[in-house]
Structure formats: C-alpha cells, structure tokens
Structure 1
Amino acid sequence: MSAGLVIFLHGVGSRGASFAPLLTQWGADLPTIALAAPDAPFTFDLAPDGRQWFSIKGVTEANRTERIVAARQAFDDTLRSCISEAGFENRLDQVVLVGFSQGSIMALDAVVSGRWPVAGVAAFSGRLASPPSYAPSTETRILLLHGDADPIMPLQEVHGAAQIMTTIGMTVTCDILPGVGHTLTSSGITRAQEFIRTLLLPGSFAS
C-alpha cells in the first residue's frame, strides 16, 4: 500500500501529460508515493488540444469567483476519480495536491471551502480567488511558491492568499523564488518535494 498520493493539477491550456517528466523524477525520488496527473474536465477555449478547469475567456476580477464555483462539481469529480483509483477514499490525510497556475487556484479553493480536507497543497504561481465562505480543515498545510518575476500572477496575489489563509487558521508557508517567472523551476520543485516528504514521509530525510 502506498504511503500517500500526490495529485498534480495543470495550468489552463495544458494537460496532465505536461507533468510526465516530473512524475518520472518523483516516481524515482518518492517510490512509496502514488502519483496522478489528470486532465482538466473542459476543453480549452483557445486551443482544442488543451484543457481547462474553468474558462478564462473574458475573465475579470468580478466574474472569476463565480467561474470557480461553477467548476467545483467537475473538479471534484476529477479528484474523486483519482483518489478512488488509488484507493485513498478514506485516507484524505495522506493526499497532497500540487497545482500550477489555474490548477493552484482550484486546489486552494478545494481546501479553503472545506470540501477536501487533504494533508496539504503545494501551489505554484496561483492565487486565492474563492468566495469568502471559508470552512477549511486547519490540519491542511499550505505551501505557496511564487516567482517574483511572474508576469501572469502578480506577486501580491501570493501575499494576499497567505494572509487570508493564515487569518482563517491555516498553516501557510510562502516561498518567493527570486528571478522566476510563471513557470516551474528545479528549486521550486525541490521545495515542493521536501514539503511532501514532511507531510507523507516523516522521518525520511536521510539524504
């Protein structure tokens, strides 16, 4: 039986397969952890071979929240399928979500809304855009990773998210990556992996 499950949630216009190199690396580094990287449920508006968790066509600060809420059912169905397939239905405290960009938005929404009391979320280049009816499990740990040169998600988004989640009783670590744009880097990936080891493999830091 696996010691935990990590679910990777891709950004808008991408697919789960974009995480293939990362899954190969983490499969070797974390052999006792099950890994999943599903496709988002909806076809990307701007390119038919991409997927999206919600549409960004005409998205504004005013309508983003309602789009997230509308996407919850399809997101939950996707997550439930991954968790069931891996046999973690009754082991959510051994599940970690790793999101990038729009995947981070949905992962943070999943935990602040109280729908998914998982062990933790590692959110790259995201923002908290959920409606303020928060009911999180305070056992869920949050790692926010954000480049200080991100042209897509302004740096203030990560600071705002950290402040709100801390205020509602969550344990949040915020790592600002110098010189990093809207992308995954080896340093950020290493930090996320360390975070996951802490949650799912305590006492495993032999190296």
Structure 2
Amino acid sequence: GFSQGTMMSLHIAPRRAQPIAALVGFSGRLLQPEALAAETTAKPPVLLIHGDADPMVPVQSLPEAADALVQAGFETYAHVCKGLGHSIDNEGLSLALGFLHEKLPA
C-alpha cells in the first residue's frame, strides 16, 4: 500500500481470518498501535519504506509502526529513503520487489 493504502493494509491484514503472504507499506503509518497485539489474528511479514523528506506523513511514523509491529510479534523490516518526499522511488521499489520475491510462494 501507499500512504492511506498502507494505513488500511496495516489495519486490515493483521485482523484477517485468512492471512496474506506479505505486506509492503510505503509512506504510511500504523493507526491505533495500542490495539494491534490484542486484535491480531495473522502475522504476515511486513516491509515499511518511507522517505525522510515526506511532508505529508512524517518519517517518524515508520519507527513508531515498526516498533509496534515487532512488539506484537511481526517479522518487520524498515527502510528510510534519503531525500524522498511523499512518493515511491526506484530504491524503494527495488526493495519491495526483492522482499515480495523472497516472501511470496513460487
């Protein structure tokens, strides 16, 4: 997901009865992190990517989400793209594709 799509994905994926294989989130945040552990029914691996120059969603949202996910038992990876605003760049796209290639079944 991107931005609001990340927020929706981080809210819905952990609460699904049927787990998804993996989740990639760009430039978003985790809403209601305090509820995550108690409401989790699935724990897909998560990759979070965020630009450090994002004017829409502060980059601080990335470590806040990553910390909550790790505390709830999720396999979590995070990457900050230097100089990137509220966008997806080639670096982030490459990381996401590699992550999905590794995590998705063949």
TM-score by length of 2: 0.88
Which of structures 1 and 2 has the bigger CA Rg?
1
**2:11 is equivalent to residue 106 of structure 1:** no
Structure 1 gaps of 5+ residues are: 1-98, 203-207
Show CA shifts across 1:49-101 (max 9, x none): xxxxxxxxxxxxxxxxxxxxxxxxxxxxxxxxxxxxxxxxxxxxxxxxxx000
Supply the distance in 2 between the matched residues of 1:153 and 1:143 (Cα, whole angstroms): 17
Map of 2:82 onto structure 1: 178
Supply the distance in 2 between the matched residues of 1:105 and 1:190 (Cα, whole angstroms): 21
**2:26 is equivalent to residue 124 of structure 1:** yes
Partner of 2:23: helix, strand, or coil? strand
One-letter code of the match for 1:121?
L
Show CA shifts across 1:10-58 (max 9, x none): xxxxxxxxxxxxxxxxxxxxxxxxxxxxxxxxxxxxxxxxxxxxxxxxx
Structure 2 gaps of 5+ residues are: none
Q: Is the 8 A contact 1:110 1:116 kept in 2?
A: no
Counting aligned pairs with the same residue, the percent is 34
2:57 corresponds, among 134, 145, 153, to 153
- Give the paired residue count: 103
State the superposition RMSD in angstroms.
1.6
Question: Where does 1:181-192 land on structure 2 (aligned, <5 Å)?
Answer: 181-192=85-96
Map of 1:134 onto structure 2: 39
Change (3 A) 1:116 1:164: farther
Partner of 2:57: helix, strand, or coil? coil
Change (3 A) 1:136 1:155: farther
TM-score by length of 1: 0.47
> Higher relative CO (CA 8 A, sep ≥ 6), structure 1 or 2?
2
Change (3 A) 1:168 1:151: same
